[in-house]
Amino acid sequence: MVAVEGGAVVLALNSGSSSLKYGLYVVETAPSLLVGGTIETAQDHGDDHARFFDTIEAALREWPTPTVIGHRIVHGGPHRDAHCRIDDAVMADLAAACAFAPLHGPASLALIRAAGARYPGVPQVACFDTAFHAGMPDVASTLPIPRAYRAGGVRRYGFHGLSCESIVRLLGDDMPARLVIAHLGNGASVTAVRDGGSIDTSMGLTPSGGVMMATRTGDIDPGVLLYLLRETGLDGTALATLVDHGSGMAGVSGLSGDMRVLRAATADDSDLAIRMFERSVCKQIAAMIASLGGADMLVLTGGIGENDVATGRAIRAGLAWVPGLDIRIMPSQEDAQIARHAAALG
């Protein structure tokens, strides 16, 4: 076993809609990655996370046992907007929050339970994607629905907060007053950041809104859903599947939501799906520029933002009208952020 001197040893677990990333970090003044990897998961992975731990433990066999485990939690619900240690009360709130993020919540709960079974007694920390957006002004956080529903926690939460945190940290002294962050991956969102804090973002109550995504609709006329409910016989469960799993670039192309697959395809519908995604991103960036009253910098991050050159080129062309916009490509470091918070709170 490799020895590590000083610092917390953090197992960071980043559960997304299509993958599970893990990394073992030693955290002293800053996180240092010892070993990590990515496991591709099915859309309905759920309790399969217990099985995935066999793969993780095999990778960690020669490394020190974690002293704390940190989890990316997509949605903490209305009662959890700050990173915290996980106890029974937190677990109860996370279970209730599954109503807001059924694509992510159950998988996260299964992963926390699996981690507790494999590493009994090791503290676990919840790192919320919504935390970065907790201070948004009311004009951004309030949804245009009756007050009675807002009182039950129906509001704009915002997501990809750990990614945004990492970009703000990486920019350091280069942090501009008016920044737009476009996290573009299987899930995609755009956030307006003023002086380091979120003031508006494209995703809303759930991670399904905003930008058109790989398999998610993004923003859509609510009348479309009402029409499908009323005229086609789809029920709530079928609509949820449509919105989260059957739409976006996959739905338009009829082929895939994977940008790499679509770029290699020759069908007209694949090209249309790509162009719609690029236009959707540009429109959401423009909206965030409006919220900021202008923008000094745009950062593209996430799997597509960092790696798909053609998407970056299309976004630059689509925003050529914005004067003086510094456009950068930067790596999202969600896992390192998880390690930082887990070490501080564990």
Residue pLDDT, tens place only, 88-99? 999 999 999 998
Measured CA to CA, the distance from residue 108 to residue 80 in angstroms comes to 15
Give the pLDDT confidence of 116-174 residue by residue, as tens digits. 999 999 999 999 999 999 999 999 999 999 999 998 899 999 999 999 999 999 999 99
Q: What percent of the chain has pLDDT over 70?
A: 95
pTM of the model: 0.94
Instruction: List active site positions.
Output: 129
Task: Supply the DSSP symbol for 176.
Answer: -
- CATH number listed for the domain at residues 174-329: 3.30.420.40
- 51 φ, ψ (degrees, to nearest 5): -70, -35
**pLDDT beyond 70 at 311:** yes
**Helix (H) / strand (E) containing 260:** helix 259-264
Measured CA to CA, the distance from residue 79 to residue 93 in angstroms comes to 7
Burial of 226 (0-12, 13-18, 19+ CB in 10 A): exposed
DSSP string across 154-173 = -S-----HHHHHHHHHHHGG
Could you tell me the residue ranges of all domains in the chain?
8-154+334-345, 174-329
Q: Which two tokens stand for residue 100?
A: 């807001």
Q: What percent of the chain has pLDDT over 90?
A: 86
**Three-state SS at 316:** helix
Banded model confidence at residue 44, pLDDT cuts 50, 70, 90 = very low
**Three-state SS at 315:** helix
Q: What pLDDT, on a 0 to 100 scale, did the predictor assign at position 218? A: 98
Measured CA to CA, the distance from residue 307 to residue 291 in angstroms comes to 27
- 147 φ, ψ (degrees, to nearest 5): -55, -35
Q: What pLDDT, on a 0 to 100 scale, did the predictor assign at position 19? A: 80
Structural fold of domain 8-154+334-345: Nucleotidyltransferase; domain 5 (3.30.420)
Measured CA to CA, the distance from residue 129 to residue 18 in angstroms comes to 16
Give the pLDDT confidence of 231-272 residue by residue, as tens digits. 998 999 999 999 999 999 999 999 999 999 999 999 999 999
Fold match, 8-154+334-345 / 174-329: yes
DSSP string across 62-91 = TSPPPSEEEEEES--GGG--S-EE--HHHH
Q: Which of 12-21, 47-56, 126-135, 202-211 bottoms out in mean pLDDT, i.e. has the lowest?
A: 47-56
Higher pLDDT, 52 or 253: 253
- Residue 23, C-beta contacts closer than 8 angstroms, at least 6 positions apart: 11, 12, 14, 33, 34, 35, 36, 37, 335, 336, 339
Q: Which two tokens stand for residue 223?
A: 């009348």
Contacts 24+ apart (CB under 8 A), 323-327: 324/296, 325/295, 325/296, 325/297, 325/298, 326/176, 326/296, 326/297, 326/298, 327/297, 327/298, 327/299, 327/300
